[in-house]
Amino acid sequence: MRNIRLKISYEGTRYQGWQRQKGTGNTIQGKIEDVLAKMLSHPVEIHGSGRTDAGVHARGQVANFKCDTDMTEEEIKEYLNEYLPMDIGITEVKEVSPRFHSRLNVTGKRYIYRVWNSTEHNVFERKYVYPFIGELDFDKMKAAARMLMGTHDFQSFCGKKVKKKSTVRTITRLDIIRIGNEIRFIYEGDGFLFHMVRILTGTLLEIGTGEMAIEQLPGILESRLRQNAGRTAPAAGLILDEVFYH
């Protein structure tokens, strides 16, 4: 039995997220599994590195599946790209060790959140940015980003209650970069909770506008209460950029 790893890009605008769901075939996982089932003539389950929400994009999602096909890596890639919708693309196909698992072997991820900070309409990239009008204090946002780096309990920045699993995560990179009218928030860490990047971004933007004081951050982390953190930034601005493995 061969173990095949896929690297996947997708525009998430019209999908109900990564994970296959009952009642809808409109998910990234569902679309890929349907094409693989056609290719192999039997049902196939793929395992992703993690879920992305409805409307979130990916440049470097990773998934794996097992099969007995004689097709080469290039033939598998060509078949998938021929039959998948144009907003889902397979950028790499590679046979890997039988023990490799896309989710269980992850060591870290990089997400990028894009904010369009201008009154001008970003006509051609409007599906990939969060239009945000207002003056932002970059020094305060960067100072807040430094406070959020490292290992913390991020329960306050999680979009749903977590009872059994740990909400402790380590952020190794949190850069805020301005490129013309665009602001990019670059996050790297060992893992991210449900809506965590979007809530962190919303919180940093509130600090940037002065709606929230930077001095509130330690108390927000300690409280472990979602209502104390900032708003959840929209899905459209978020992209899963890269998944890291040893």
Q: Which domain holds residue 137?
A: 108-244
User: Does one domain contain both 143 and 206?
Assistant: yes
Residues with pLDDT less than 50, the chain:
none
CATH of the domain at 74: 3.30.70.580
Token pair of 190 as six digits: 């060992």
Q: How many domains does the chain have?
A: 2
User: Does one domain contain both 217 and 122?
Assistant: yes
Q: Is residue 101 part of a domain?
A: no
- Whether the CB-CB separation of 12 and 28 falls below 8 Å is answered with yes
Q: Which of 65, 96, 127 is the last residue of a domain?
A: 96
Q: Which of 96, 118, 144 is the last residue of a domain?
A: 96
User: Does one domain contain both 173 and 227?
Assistant: yes
Side chain identity at residue 48, one-letter code: G
C-alpha span between 94 and 77 (Å, rounded): 9
CATH of the domain at 146: 3.30.70.660
Q: What is the pLDDT of residue 73?
A: 98
Q: What is the pLDDT of residue 104?
A: 97
Q: What is the pLDDT of residue 22?
A: 85
What is each CA distance from 50 to 64, 145, 160, 196, in whole angstroms? 12, 24, 16, 13
Q: Is the pTM of this model over 0.85?
A: yes
- Identify whether 175 is a catalytic site residue: no
User: Does one domain contain both 123 and 239?
Assistant: yes
User: Does one domain contain both 86 and 156?
Assistant: no
User: Does one domain contain both 72 and 150?
Assistant: no
Please pick, among 34, 53, 137, 190, the residue that the annotation labels catalytic.
Answer: 53
Q: What is the pLDDT of residue 132?
A: 97
